[in-house]
Amino acid sequence: MATQHNSTIYDPHLHLFYLDEGDYFWLKNALPPWPKIAMLQKSFSEEELDLNNEFVLSQFTHIEAGFNNQQAEKEIAFLERKIGKKHSAIGYYQIDVEPSLFKQQINTLLSYSTFVGIRDITEGSDAARLHSENVNQNFAFLAHNKLIFEAQFEISELQHTTRIYELAKAQPNLDIVLNHAGLVTPYNYSNWLRALKQLSQLPNVYIKYSGFEMQEINLSDTFRNKVFDAIFANFSQERILFGSNFPVCLMASSYLALWQHYRALCQNDSIWQKLACDNAKALYSN
């Protein structure tokens, strides 16, 4: 039986859905068309983070979920009213907007005590936004305010990885977190590994081991373990974070089963404690 200390987790990547309160255009319209997305088209609250007393969820970081992409502060304000301030929040904003508008929106988000950074999903053709000249100034503004940028794109697309590498190197005080293991699949693994090796060189780049259910619901444990081993071999232990992607993870497993899988990946309690709790706490504490 694990001790209380070693059963404690900090989930750095989850979403709560309140469909009667927010827009959630992507979810209500089944975008992307995941085979099991219908099971997600309902509200999910904090009470459904069930770990059956095997683990203790001490804190979590809520990642923007499309509550209102026109006024991103509404999601953060709603969550602060709904669940209080026992969490940190990553808001939405598009990274390539004109810098004066970017500063205005970030300053609005900074008025909320739970706000710690932004995510702009730049998968597929949307990765073109990363190459805008505006991003240089916008990243500098995030760094100035000690905020986090959550980067969600296919790192196997090496031209985009090189751009993120250059941006991260130019702003060493900006923490950049690669979402969902860089969206790796068995088909892009070779380029993904090249990108992983490049990005791991920078101490301000972190990576979340999460989100495999978005690529393939029945992805084998063998491949997931191979990905973990590659991440562990290249990133320092202090820059790897286990995240759930709740409730999207439910398309493949229960919340509890996911954390059991993560625990089984760790050779000892020290590694587990870093990847399941301490690293996220150090990064997202506000």
Looking at domain 5-284, does it have CATH number 3.20.20.140? Answer: yes
The CA distance from 75 to 230, in Å, is: 35
Spatial separation of the C-alpha atoms in residues 200 and 195, rounded to whole Å: 8
In tens, the pLDDT along 195-241 reads 999 999 999 999 999 999 998 888 888 999 999 999 999 999 999 99
Cα separation, 9 vs 195, whole angstroms: 28
User: Which 3 state secondary structure label does DSSP give 115?
Assistant: strand
Q: Which two tokens stand for residue 36?
A: 């099991």
Looking at the chain, the number of H-run helices and the number of E-run strands are 10, 8
With b for 16 or more beta-carbon neighbours within 10 A and e for fewer, the 167-190 pattern comes to bbeebeebbbbbbbbbbbeeebbe
Tally of CA atoms within 13 A in the half-sphere of 278 that contains its CB: 12
DSSP state, 199? H
Q: What is the reported pTM?
A: 0.97
pLDDT of residue 75: 98
Reported as a single tens digit per residue, the pLDDT across 232-249 is 999 999 999 999 999 999
Q: What backbone phi and psi angles, to 5 degrees, belong to 243? A: -135, 155
% of residues, the chain, pLDDT over 70: 98
Comparing CA positions, the residue from 131, 3, 126 lying closest to residue 55 is 3
Residue 284's contacts (CB-CB under 8 Å, 6 or more residues apart) are 10, 12, 59, 61, 88, 116, 148
Q: Phi and psi of 12, rounded to 5°?
A: -90, 5
CA–CA dist 226, 77 (Å, integer) = 40
45-53 average pLDDT score: 96
